[in-house]
Amino acid sequence: MHIEQENVLDRNGTAELPSFFKLSSDGLSTGDFEEEVYTTGQVVFRINSMPYGLYYVKSGKVKVFKYGSDGKEQILTIAGEGRFLGYKDLLAERRYTSGATVVEDARLVFIPKADFKQIFRSDDASDYFTNLLCRDLIEAEERMVSMAYKPVRGRLAESLLKLSSTYKNHVHGIELTREDLANFVGTAKETVIRLLSEFKTEKLIKIDGRSIEILSESGLQRILGLYR
């Protein structure tokens, strides 16, 4: 199961920070936070680097990943509008245990560590991020079970359903390279290409270049249901 963080989109389709970021006890406002445009392929942060603040995705997409013992990239999530990046390591006061790279031109807000720590003292902020940590733990447990027991066909169906939520405001559907999709599913790129072709033949999806449009969520749910 994929759990999206709540967010509010403005008229430009960008996500607004939760209200407790807008004004803190000492008058800190969102206007004080640095906002920067990142292009596709640009690194947001690297594994083992020190976190100096919190990132918030206003628009675009960012992949968060680790490397397996074989050196292969494993994508943990595709973070879209309204998602926070790096808060677990920031709260734990440790180096980043994962990396983050932009997969679709993004606009990110950077909240310095000192400001985040102060905002986190409020009940609303601490409750919010505690809830996110619990959701992340549930999602990680379910992903671990999926990787261990579901065959690739079931994992691909599940991944497409997860990604459809992340890309729900995207006019072209899911847009990921086949390599990134394979790393998200946890399989070889050739396997993903073959299974996507099967799903297309079964009229579950439509493919246009690297874009994937889901035609039948119920069909993908049926495939997923076979392996529960």
Profile the chain (228 residues) by mean pLDDT over runs of 10 residues.
Answer: 44 74 56 88 97 95 93 94 95 96 96 92 92 91 83 95 90 93 95 97 95 96 83
DSSP one-letter string for 139-187: HHHHHHHHHHHS-HHHHHHHHHHHHHHHTTT-TT-EE--HHHHHHHHTS
Burial (Cβ within 10 Å: 0-12, 13-18, ≥19) of residue 11: exposed
Structure tokens that stand for 79 in this block:
């973070």
| pTM metric for this prediction | 0.86
Residue 1 pLDDT:
34
The one-letter amino acid code at 214 reads: I
Establish how many alpha carbons lie within 13 A of residue 52's alpha carbon, considering only the half-sphere containing its beta carbon.
Answer: 6
Residue 175 pLDDT:
94
Residue 225 pLDDT:
82
Are 129 and 120 in contact, with CB atoms under 8 Å apart? yes
